[in-house]
Every structure is written in structure tokens, then in C-alpha cells.
């Protein structure tokens, strides 16, 4: 059975974090559209930093450990950017008057 995350009660911290990450791109696009600029693209960036952050906060592994840094390099090609990106970059153009 597939869970409907939009209708979720939000009782678990990880569930809320998951919802926030999934909705990040669409809500950023909506917020930019309110101001009127033409949105060219939105791209998740700093994926490896996001993986390091997840390993630290969700699994309690220290940033300083060589093994954690090596693991983040190994995981980078396999984990989707939208799930762990540290930031999003948006490029938009202000409409000419």
C-alpha cells in the first residue's frame, strides 16, 4: 500500500523531513512565479554535502571520520539529488516592462 504523504499526520520527524524535501522544488517554483519572473530552471546542488549531513544527523556519524567522507563519495552516484541536495539553485529572468 502506497502512503499518501500529502495527507500525512506529520507525527514522525523523518516523515516531515521527507515531505519538505519532496515539495521543495515545486514550492520554490511557485514562490518565484508570484513575483512574476520567468523561471528558466531549478537545480539541486551540493549533493555530497547533503549526503554528509544526512550521515551525520540521521546515523550519528562524525563529519571528521575518513570513512564517512569516503562513504559520501561512494554514495553520490546512487542517491538522487532531490532527496539529499544541500541547496537549490534557481535561475529566473525578470520580465521586461
What does DSSP assign to residue 41? E
Average pLDDT over residues 78-88: 83
* CB of 56 closer than 8 Å to CB of 62: yes
Query: pLDDT tens digits, residue range 1-48?
Result: 334 434 444 455 555 555 455 556 677 777 777 777 788 888 888 888
CB under 8 Å, gap of 24 or more: what pairs does 57-66 form? 58/14
pTM beyond 0.75: the answer is: no
Is a pLDDT exceeding 70 seen at residue 91?
A: yes
pLDDT at residue 5 in the model: 39
Instruction: Tell me the CA end-to-end span of the chain in Å, nearest whole number.
Output: 51
pLDDT at residue 8 in the model: 44
pLDDT at residue 71 in the model: 93
pLDDT at residue 10 in the model: 46
Task: Provide the grid cell at 11.
Answer: 507525527
Query: pLDDT tens digits, residue range 66-76?
Result: 999 999 999 99
Q: Is 35 helix (H, G, I), strand (E, B) or coil?
A: coil
Closest CA to 10 of 2, 18, 33: 18
Is a pLDDT exceeding 60 seen at residue 59?
A: yes
How many C-beta neighbours within 10 Å does residue 47 have?
A: 21
Amino acid at each position: 500500500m502506497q502512503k499518501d504523504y500529502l495527507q500525512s499526520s506529520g507525527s514522525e520527524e523523518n516523515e516531515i523531513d521527507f515531505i519538505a524535501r519532496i515539495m521543495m522544488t515545486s514550492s520554490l517554483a511557485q514562490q518565484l512565479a508570484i513575483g512574476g519572473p520567468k523561471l528558466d530552471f531549478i537545480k539541486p546542488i551540493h549533493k555530497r554535502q547533503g549526503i554528509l549531513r544526512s550521515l551525520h544527523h540521521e546515523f550519528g556519524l562524525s563529519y571528521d571520520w575518513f570513512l564517512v567522507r569516503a562513504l559520501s563519495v561512494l554514495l553520490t552516484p546512487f542517491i538522487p539529488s532531490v532527496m539529499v541536495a544541500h541547496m537549490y539553485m534557481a535561475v529566473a529572468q525578470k520580465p521586461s516592462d
